[in-house]
């Protein structure tokens, strides 16, 4: 048979609908809007085939009790078949259970039904009547339903007719015996103390109370019967002396005859209802001690597992069931909380994976975690505390492990960001002049490590074993690597700058020394070089302290600096001693040596001078001097290790210092010598010629002859006053011209006058002796191509005849 869930539309519910007395207290069924169904929709929890409904959870949700926590109660009714149980429940709670049709008198309630009480957070269970005619001798269901109701309900209503009191069978004593027995099975296995012991209220409702036997008497009879049953039970070991009242509270009430005195019946129902609704009523039934402490959202699962246990005839241990329920529900709630967390965390997973530093990630992570934990705590904390604590710890661990990759990702991204920001800062800091490299690096390191630490602290959640120390150490290491690289670059730059300065400083002095080409030329060059290098090294060391360079780095850099300086010197020497420059230098130097004497006066070679040896000395002295860098003073010698390992800083191959000392190789020297000899030989020849010309001068004796022959003329000028006066005037004029420096202008004037006189004279002579002008020849008409030659031919022809007719005449 299928399980039912029916709204209150059954025709048998007319007795409820027609009840005017209840209408004042119980409002008409209200709907909760879920599929338009009534809040008082009932559900068959267990059907006739003893199958448990899968819909109970949905119904509890529909009844709006799902989130009630512990704020709900469960009441069940027991009693023989057709004793007005459903009628009573409907009257008391406004439920919609089926009521038997009077004309038919057939069993109506089959299995176990449940319905929510109207305007009350109460779940009401209508249990199939005992002594079921329909089930015959099937006592199994009776026992199982009793067990189930006892495990789930706080209050058990035991419904019986007044006339059944005192009877064993009629008063359901058999059923009650079963209840007591199963109760010992359920709760008796553990000796629970007063505080933790779960109690159940047995509320006996004596129907059709006529009034002749007062309630007190009926109560007494029933209590005696119950005690008798209890004492007759075989109790488990250790619980032999436990009393009925240790587990049950007994309460009794009567209801008047429904048919004979319906008004009185209604009044009794109303006052009984008050015991369920009015918390201030001294007989209020829903005492906290009766509550089974199952949160409302776990009721469906709890009841189902109870029924499974009951159905499979396994021992039912409620505390264990509660723990199992707690585990089940806590798992469910943890899954929900985790889903909620994952949905929230998903939004930042991508950017973090893509390498972005997500601002305020730690705050977000904490809030997701808090929200998810709050969601879990709200429902799960109502379950078994031990299970809840365990599951909570599991959930925290799961959430933390979900957040772990975000934490690590954020650390990685912060690392990357801090590293690149460090690099940028250092590069920006060392732009321009006047910076202290060490300070720039220290500042950038502190700032970016601080930045990382700040970001990492923000993302570090409190109740985790996470740490960012390792990543921070890695960052510091990477930063120092970059700083080292920058320092190496800076050092390189500095060495290059110093090298430039060295070049500038040495240049002029070296040029001068090489031009002088004195025997101590290399001494001067090396002295200048060493002084400049010493200054450069001092500059380097001064700057290197701010770079935080290590001793080793300084040694390497200085070695490079020395080598570069030496190479600069060599380059300068090479520049000054290119073939052409050197030949020119040789020439001028040779000229200087060969053509001028030590005082710089031009040499006049005399026949007895040893031109050849002077020439050879001048020629052969210079090339050896320049061919090797070799100072006269040995203390000025400079040396470098040939195998200095600076291949990282220069692109050059192997460095051989000794080779660099050689300016001209043997072959080069020979070549230069040959080329120079041609020029030098020319000077030699010139010197020889000048010797010859000096030999060809006027002999001295000629001057003696001239004095002897001119003696008379000189005497005549001295003795003649006119000649003498003219001589004096001439000398005076010469003196004035020399004193006033007029020799130049006078020379020019004289030259111009001379030129003019010469020109005039030439013209006169030409006029005097010139031939008469030639007549103009008419150019003949020709069409030939040789016009240019024609006049010349004619001129040649006519020269013999009529070209100058006057002359011929």
Ligand X SMILES: Nc1nc2c(ncn2[C@@H]2O[C@H](COP(=O)(O)OP(=O)(O)OP(=O)(O)O)[C@@H](O)[C@H]2O)c(=O)[nH]1
Q: Is 82 annotated as a binding-site member?
A: yes
Residue in 208, 266, 297, 379 binding ligand X, rule: CB under 6 A: 208
Can you tell me which residue has the tokens 């002008």? 773
> What angle do helix axes 215-232 and 173-187 make, rounded to 10 degrees?
50
Stretch that binds ligand X, among 46-54, 98-106, 294-302, 336-344 (CB under 6 A): 98-106
The nearer residue to ligand X, 18 or 674, going by C-beta atoms, is 18
443 marked as part of a ligand binding site = no
Q: Which is nearer to ligand X, 262 or 641 (CB)?
A: 262
Among 129, 298, 402, 409, binds ligand X (CB under 6 A): 129
135 lies in the binding site for ligand X (CB under 6 A) = no
d(CA 57, CA 617): 126
H-assigned helices in 99-153:
140-152
The nearest distance, CB 464 to ligand X, in angstroms, is: 59
**Residue 5: strand pairing partners:** 43
Helix (H, G, I), strand (E, B) or coil at 236: coil
The site for ligand X, by CB under 6 A, has a size of 19
80 labeled binding residue: yes
Distance between CA atoms of residues 76 and 136, nearest Å: 23
Q: Is the dihedral of CA 232, 236, 240, 246 positive or negative?
A: negative
76 binds ligand X per the rule CB under 6 A: no
Alpha carbon 285 to chain centroid, angstroms: 65
- 739 assigned ligand-binding residue: no
The yes or no reply on residue 416 touching ligand X (CB under 6 A) is no
Binding of ligand X by 254 (CB under 6 A): no
Taking CB under 6 A as the binding criterion, the range among 147-155, 255-263, 572-580, 640-648 that sits at the site for ligand X is 255-263
Cβ 259 to ligand X shortest distance, Å: 5
The H or E element that residue 90 is part of is helix 85-93
- Is 401 annotated as belonging to a binding site? no
Instruction: Enumerate the H helices of 430-468 as residue ranges.
Output: 437-459
CB nearer to ligand X: give 89 or 472: 89
Query: Token pair 């006029």 is at which residue?
Result: 767
Would you call 45 helix, strand, or coil by DSSP?
A: strand
Q: How far apart are CA 107 and CA 79, in angstroms?
A: 13
Stretch that binds ligand X, among 105-113, 147-155, 461-469, 717-725 (CB under 6 A): 105-113
Q: Which is nearer to ligand X, 47 or 344 (CB)?
A: 47
Q: Which stretch binds ligand X (CB under 6 A): 22-30, 96-104, 234-242, 485-493?
A: 96-104
Task: Tell me the C-alpha distance between 517 and 627, whole Å.
Answer: 12
CB of 105 to ligand X, least distance (A): 7
Round to whole Å and give the CA distance between 76 and 84.
Answer: 14
The residue sitting closest to ligand X, measured at its beta carbon, is 84
Task: Output the CA–CA distances (angstroms, integers) from residue 136 to 112, 140, 236, 548, 601, in the order listed.
Answer: 18, 11, 31, 103, 160
- Helical spans, DSSP H, in 639-739: 657-661, 666-695, 700-719, 721-739
Does position 84 bind ligand X by CB under 6 A? yes
- Quote the CA–CA distance of 731 and 784 in Å, as a whole number: 74
Q: Is 438 assigned a ligand-binding role in the annotation?
A: no
Strand order in the sheet with 112-116: 5-6, 42-46, 112-116, 122-127, 73-79, 155-161, 200-209, 248-256
The continuous run of DSSP H or E covering 319 comes out as helix 318-353
Selected from 86, 254, 305, 557, the binder of ligand X by CB under 6 A is 86
Q: Does residue 24 belong to the site contacting ligand X (CB under 6 A)?
A: no
532 marked as binding residue: no
Can you tell me which of 38, 40, 53, 82 binds ligand X, judged by CB under 6 A?
82
Choice between 85 and 292, CB closer to ligand X:
85
Q: Segment contacting ligand X (CB under 6 A): 215-223, 253-261, 474-482, 639-647?
A: 253-261
Smaller CB distance to ligand X: residue 107 or 505? 107
| The binder of ligand X chosen from 195, 259, 708, 809 (CB under 6 A) | 259
Cα(239)–Cα(237) distance, integer angstroms: 5
Cβ(676)–Cβ(587) below 8 Å: yes
Choices 252-260, 292-300, 303-311, 723-731; region in contact with ligand X by CB under 6 A: 252-260
87 touching ligand X, by CB under 6 A: yes
Q: Which of 53, 95, 96, 108 binds ligand X (CB under 6 A)?
A: 108
Residue numbers at the binding site for ligand X (CB under 6 A): 81-87, 99-100, 102, 107-109, 129, 207-208, 257-259
Binding residues, as ranges, are 79-86
Annotated binding site for GTP: 79-86
């Amino acid at each position: 048979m299928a399980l039912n869930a029916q709204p209150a539309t059954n025709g048998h519910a007319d007795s409820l609908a027609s009840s005017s007395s209840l209408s004042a207290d119980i409002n008409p069924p209200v709907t909760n809007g879920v599929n338009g169904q009534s809040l008082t929709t009932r559900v068959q929890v267990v059907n006739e085939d003893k199958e448990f409904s899968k819909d109970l959870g949905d119904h509890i949700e529909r009844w709006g009790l799902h989130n009630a926590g512990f704020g709900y109660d469960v009441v069940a009714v027991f009693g023989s078949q057709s004793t007005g149980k459903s009628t009573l429940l409907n009257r008391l709670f406004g439920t919609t259970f089926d009521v038997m049709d009077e004309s038919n008198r057939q069993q109506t309630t089959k299995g176990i039904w449940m319905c929510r009480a109207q305007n009350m957070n109460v779940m009401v269970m209508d249990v199939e009547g005992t002594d079921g005619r329909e089930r015959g001798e099937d006592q199994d269901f009776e026992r199982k339903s009793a067990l189930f109701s006892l495990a789930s309900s706080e209050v058990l209503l035991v419904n019986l007719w007044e006339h059944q009191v005192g009877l064993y069978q009629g008063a359901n004593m058999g059923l009650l015996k079963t209840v007591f027995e199963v109760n010992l099975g359920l709760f008796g296995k553990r000796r629970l103390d007063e505080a933790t012991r779960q109690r159940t209220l047995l509320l006996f409702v004596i129907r059709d109370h006529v009034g002749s036997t007062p309630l007190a008497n009926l109560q007494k009879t029933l209590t005696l019967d119950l005690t008798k049953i209890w004492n007759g039970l075989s109790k488990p070991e250790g619980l032999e002396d436990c009393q009925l009242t240790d587990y049950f509270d007994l309460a009794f009430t009567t209801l008047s005859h429904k048919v004979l005195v319906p008004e009185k019946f209604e009044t009794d129902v109303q006052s009984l209802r008050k015991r369920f609704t009015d918390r201030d009523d001294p007989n209020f039934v829903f005492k906290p001690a009766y509550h089974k402490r199952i949160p409302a959202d776990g009721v469906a699962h709890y009841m189902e597992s109870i029924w499974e246990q009951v159905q499979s005839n396994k021992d039912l241990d409620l505390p264990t069931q509660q723990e199992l329920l707690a585990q089940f529900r806590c798992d469910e709630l943890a899954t929900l909380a985790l889903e909620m967390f994952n949905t929230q965390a998903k939004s930042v997973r991508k950017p973090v994976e893509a390498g972005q530093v997500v601002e305020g990630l730690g705050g977000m992570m904490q809030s997701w975690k808090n929200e998810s934990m709050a969601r879990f705590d709200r429902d799960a904390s109502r379950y078994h505390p031990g299970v809840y604590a365990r599951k909570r710890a599991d959930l925290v661990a799961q959430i933390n492990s979900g957040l772990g990759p975000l934490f690590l990702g954020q650390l990685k991204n912060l690392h990357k960001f801090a590293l690149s920001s460090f690099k940028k800062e250092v590069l920006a800091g060392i732009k321009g002049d006047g910076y202290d490299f060490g300070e720039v690096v220290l500042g950038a390191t502190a700032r970016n490590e601080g930045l990382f630490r700040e970001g990492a602290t923000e993302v570090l959640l409190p109740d985790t074993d996470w740490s960012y120390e390792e990543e921070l150490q890695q960052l510091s290491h990477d930063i120092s690597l970059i700083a080292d690289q920058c320092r190496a670059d800076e050092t390189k730059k500095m060495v290059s700058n110093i090298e430039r300065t060295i070049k500038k400083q040495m240049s002029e002095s070296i040029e001068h020394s090489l031009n002088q080409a004195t025997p101590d030329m290399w001494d001067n060059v090396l002295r200048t070089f060493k002084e400049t290098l010493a200054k450069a090294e001092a500059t380097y060391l001064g700057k290197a302290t701010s770079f935080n360079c290590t001793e080793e780095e300084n040694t390497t850099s200085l070695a490079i600096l020395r080598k570069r300086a030496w190479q600069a010197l060599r380059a300068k020497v090479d520049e000054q001693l290119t073939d052409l420059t050197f030949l020119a230098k040789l020439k001028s130097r040779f000229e200087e040596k060969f053509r001028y004497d030590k005082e710089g006066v031009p040499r006049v070679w005399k026949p007895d001078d040893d031109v050849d040896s002077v020439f050879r000395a001048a020629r052969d002295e210079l090339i050896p001097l320049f061919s090797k860098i070799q100072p006269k003073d040995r203390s000025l010698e400079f040396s470098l290790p040939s195998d200095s390992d600076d291949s990282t800083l220069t692109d050059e191959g192997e460095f051989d210092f000794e080779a660099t000392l050689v300016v001209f190789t043997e072959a080069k020297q020979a070549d230069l010598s040959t080329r120079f000899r041609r020029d030098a030989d020319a000077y030699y020849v010139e010197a020889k010629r000048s010797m010859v010309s000096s030999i060809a001068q006027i002999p001295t004796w000629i001057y003696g002859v001239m004095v002897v022959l001119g003696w008379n003329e000189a005497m005549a000028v001295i003795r003649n006053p006119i000649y003498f006066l003219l001589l004096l005037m001439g000398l005076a004029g010469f003196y004035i011209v020399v004193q006033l420096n007029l020799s130049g202008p006078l020379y020019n004037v004289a030259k111009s006058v001379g030129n003019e006189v010469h020109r005039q004279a030439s013209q006169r002579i030409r006029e005097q002796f010139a031939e008469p002008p030639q007549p103009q020849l008419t150019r003949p008409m020709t069409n030939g191509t040789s016009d240019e030659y024609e006049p010349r031919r004619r001129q040649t022809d006519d020269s013999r005849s009529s070209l100058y007719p006057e002359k011929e005449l």
